[in-house]
């Protein structure tokens, strides 16, 4: 049980880190695509 209790916070931490990374990455991609579409007009 000790390993399991240690493993769950690690999993939660990794999930939160991945979500934060994806949110930042997605925001930058959206900004980049928006700037491209503005330049084409």
pLDDT by residue for the chain (41 residues), tens only, comes to 666 666 678 889 899 999 999 999 999 999 999 999 988 87
pLDDT of residue 25: 97
Q: What pLDDT is attached to residue 17?
A: 93
Record the pTM: 0.54
Residue 16's domain spans which residues? 1-41
Q: Tokens standing for 12? A: 């939660």
**Structural domain total, the chain:** 1
CA distance 18 to 28: 15
Cα–Cα distance for residue pair 35/15, rounded to 1 Å: 30
Q: How far apart (Å, rounded) are the C-alpha atoms in residues 26 and 40?
A: 21
* pLDDT at res. 10: 86
């Amino acid at each position: 049980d000790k390993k399991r209790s240690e493993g769950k916070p690690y999993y939660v931490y990794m999930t939160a880190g991945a979500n934060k990374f994806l949110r930042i990455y997605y925001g930058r991609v959206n900004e980049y695509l928006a700037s491209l579409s503005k330049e084409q007009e």
